[in-house]
């Protein structure tokens, strides 16, 4: 079994009346690119700030590298590189000068050659002596990642690394993340609100909404093309929902959204499900199969009236 680099158990953070993170648990395996997905305001940045000890949890536990974050804070953070929101760079200095400063702040001694290697890794070697103020937003983002790598961390945490980038900038950051994972065996936790982007780079992912877990799993299982989402509309969704919860179909029921009941199942099972609904005397108004799980996930995280059933 893969070693857990991050282990989060029942993590909660309250800000007065607002529960930003609500009883959240997840695990990130060593060497994974782990997608941390949710709409803006879902609680992603708050969770990441707790992982980096920038804010304290209201309750719950965090272990990184098998160590409790409260008791081993300095030891853990020495092995973590992170960017939260946009990287904090010195715009009137060159890329190389920025790296020198960040290396000094990290307390590591890094040779000039090593710094240049870091810039080459992020595709900026040719602009090493250019001032950062002349960089595009995508170049600044890649330089920010280089500063997070300067002390050779085991774990890299990136909060919305493709935010505000053009398509080329997004592709550059995506390729860099894959290189860090596949060639350098780094573990990466990456937050995003773009499901399509996470699908391209992540091994596993969690999707959260209003601080709660909606779904978690391996990307290739979550996005199995044979899996489909069915929107079931009936004459009385509330009583039908209760009836389905007590039936053999319970394991397929995902929740309610608007005036529909959501089912997740293999498309080959659809004829049998329809037969079962007839036997249960469910007054079906419509039965609509969706082609993409993306529609389903974004409807759960994007709709104010989404209700999720815990399995």
Count of the separate structural domains present in the chain? 2
C-alpha to C-alpha distance for 154 and 247, rounded to whole angstroms: 47
C-alpha to C-alpha distance for 270 and 250, rounded to whole angstroms: 15
**First-last CA distance in the chain:** 23
Shared domain for 25 and 98, answered yes or no, is yes
The 3-state DSSP class for residue 6 equals strand
CB 25 within 8 A of CB 10: yes
| Residue 296 Cα to chain centre, angstroms | 17
Shared domain for 214 and 244, answered yes or no, is no
Give the residue from 168, 192, 221 where a domain finishes: 221
Structure tokens at 105: 């702040």
C-alpha to C-alpha distance for 8 and 15, rounded to whole angstroms: 19
* Residue in the structure block whose two tokens are 């949890």: 57
Shared domain for 97 and 240, answered yes or no, is no
Would the pTM of this model clear 0.95, i.e. be above it? no
The predicted structure's pLDDT at residue 58: 96
pLDDT tens string, the chain, 311 residues long: the values are 468 999 999 999 999 888 999 999 999 999 999 999 988 888 999 999 999 999 999 999 999 999 999 999 999 999 999 988 777 899 999 999 999 999 998 888 889 999 999 999 999 999 999 999 999 999 999 999 999 999 999 999 999 998 888 999 999 999 999 999 999 999 999 999 888 788 889 999 998 988 988 888 888 777 666 677 788 898 888 888 888 888 888 888 877 776 788 888 887 888 888 888 888 888 888 888 765 556 656 555 554 433 444 33
C-alpha to C-alpha distance for 151 and 80, rounded to whole angstroms: 9
Give the residue from 221, 245, 269 where a domain finishes: 221
- Please choose, from the candidates 145, 146, 150, 179, the residue with its C-alpha nearest in 3D space to the C-alpha of residue 162: 145
Shared domain for 33 and 168, answered yes or no, is yes
The predicted structure's pLDDT at residue 309: 41
The 3-state DSSP class for residue 101 equals helix
Shared domain for 132 and 157, answered yes or no, is yes
Give the domain extent around 127.
4-221
C-alpha to C-alpha distance for 63 and 8, rounded to whole angstroms: 6
Give the residue from 188, 205, 221 where a domain finishes: 221
Instruction: Report the CATH number that the domain containing residue 89 is assigned in CATH.
Output: 3.40.50.300
Shared domain for 84 and 230, answered yes or no, is no
Cβ-based burial of 310 (10 A; exposed 0-12, middle 13-18, buried ≥19): exposed
Shared domain for 59 and 120, answered yes or no, is yes
The 3-state DSSP class for residue 209 equals strand
The predicted structure's pLDDT at residue 292: 54
């Amino acid at each position: 079994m893969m070693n857990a680099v991050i282990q989060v158990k029942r993590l909660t953070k309250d800000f007065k009346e607002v529960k930003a993170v609500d009883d959240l648990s997840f695990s990130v395996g060593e060497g994974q690119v782990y997608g941390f997905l949710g709409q803006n305001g879902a609680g992603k940045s708050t969770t990441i700030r707790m992982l980096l000890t920038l804010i304290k949890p209201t309750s719950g536990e965090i272990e990184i590298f098998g160590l409790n974050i409260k008791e081993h804070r300095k030891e853990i953070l020495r092995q973590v590189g992170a960017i939260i929101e946009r990287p904090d760079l010195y715009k009137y200095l060159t890329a190389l000068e920025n790296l020198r400063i960040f290396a000094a702040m990290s307390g590591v001694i890094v040779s000039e050659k090593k710094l240049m290697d870091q810039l080459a890794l992020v595709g900026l070697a040719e602009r090493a002596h250019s001032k950062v103020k002349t960089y595009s937003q995508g170049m600044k983002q890649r330089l920010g990642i280089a500063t997070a790598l300067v002390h050779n961390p085991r774990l890299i945490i990136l909060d919305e690394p493709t935010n505000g980038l053009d398509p080329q900038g997004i592709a550059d950051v995506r390729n860099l993340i894959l290189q860090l994972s596949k060639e350098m065996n780094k573990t990466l936790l990456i937050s995003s609100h773009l499901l399509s982007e996470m699908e391209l780079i992540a091994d596993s992912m969690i999707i959260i909404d209003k601080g709660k877990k909606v779904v978690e799993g391996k990307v290739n299982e979550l996005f199995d093309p044979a899996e489909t989402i069915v929107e079931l509309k009936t004459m009385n969704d509330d009583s039908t929902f209760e009836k389905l919860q007590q039936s053999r179909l319970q394991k397929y029921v995902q929740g309610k959204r608007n005036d529909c009941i959501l089912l997740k199942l293999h498309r080959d099972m659809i004829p049998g499900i329809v037969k079962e609904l007839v036997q249960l005397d469910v007054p079906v108004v419509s039965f609509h199969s969706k082609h993409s799980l993306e529609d389903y996930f974004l409807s759960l995280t994007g709709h104010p009236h989404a209700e999720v059933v815990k399995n």
